Structure 1
Amino acid sequence: MSDATPRDVLTRLRAVEWYEWDKSYACRRSRGMLMREHMRRAALWAAAYGVPEQWPFFDIAQFAEPGLLLDDDLATELDEFVARVIPSSAGVLCYAAVRWAAVRSEELPDLPHPYEPILIMFERGGGYNIEEMIDLYGVSVPYGDFARSLKLEPFESLDRFVLEPSTPQRPTVSRTSRTRRAPGPRYSSAAEPGRFKRSLGRGRAADQVRSLPASQVMALCPS
């Protein structure tokens, strides 16, 4: 559980820049890992409450504390905010994260916070689109499935100092430089981050994100 109140979480979400292209590109690897961790945690919670069909974007509070209600004013503000969030699944996560902060049950499963990874991902460049894959505006990751998500390796740290990138900027490499390029997909500076996945080839970026061990979180964002 977190000490954050529902109002704290809504305030945090209101501060998100939902289409912050440069930052989402600079944080593309950590955003991929954070979405992957969200899928894993959502699977754990869905399994704990016996609702695998609800995975991966759902309101866990309805199972953790049935009948939970927010204060009327906050509920109205949350509904108005969520109505503007695209895609609708991201709106569901915003709604669910605020409601989760109101849960006070003492009989919760011993599982990690279900929404912290996705909240941090939102703060690191905005939301996503769902097409054939999940487009994170800089990298695409597979949607995956419930059973495989249960078996994913845990993300070791969500510490802000570990995840914080340097000033977001797209990488440039001199043709005469002898420094080896860090592993990763090629990127055309002429392409917009939202169209970045088209230059990667099907599944290539996703495979790179998925192959990164969680112990390499220090290198998730390019300098």
Structure 2
Amino acid sequence: MKILIRIIQFMLNEIVEIFSSVWIFLMGIGFYVILPILTFFAFLALIIGKNWNGFIGILLFTFIACAVFGIIKFIQVFLNFILGFFLNESEENKRIYKEYKQWYESVRNQEYERRKRTQEEYQRQQHNKQNNSNSRFNYKSTNDNGIIQKFEKYLDFLGIDKNGEITDRIIHKAFLKKMKVVHPDKNIGKDTTAQAQEIKAMEDFLKEQLEYYLMQKEKK
């Protein structure tokens, strides 16, 4: 039943949208072609015969055009509201948000140990960095256990330009974009938990190694 209602909703929206587009086209012709001509003759009538009927007609023409456009948009909003009420979309949205929150919390909890190990690794690398702060930055010679290469690999996966600005905010924004791709609602019948965990681990690694990466990059 819900599928049938959604099909009807889609068809009605498309019909209203077509009417709206046609009316906008007609309004464009009216305002850019007809209205200037009417204004010219109304101005002549005012100068020659001191007749204000032309300007009154222009105002009426403009009012009717805008009113019809407003009515079309109101019908579209009203239809969506009524059909949304029958489909109980507000409750469905709450349910989806609740499921997403539970899913996100589950992924975060499962990655707790991984983040802990990554933090310990970061602290060891910071110690090594301080001991070698005067060394020249070089991918081959730097004893960073592949952190730089791994960092840039994750940047490429999340779609972040390694030559551009890199901040926690940019990393988190790219993370959310990737998480939407593997969200259960977009992968019905598929278990994307492992992918989500991997993406979350990437975000944690990038945030934890960001300072180290930027400092090493400055040495280059």
TM-score category (smaller protein) = under 0.3
- Bigger Rg, structure 1 or 2: 2
Higher relative contact order (CA 8 A, sep 6+): 1
Structure with bigger helix share is 2
TM-score normalized by structure 2? 0.27
TM-score normalized by structure 1? 0.26
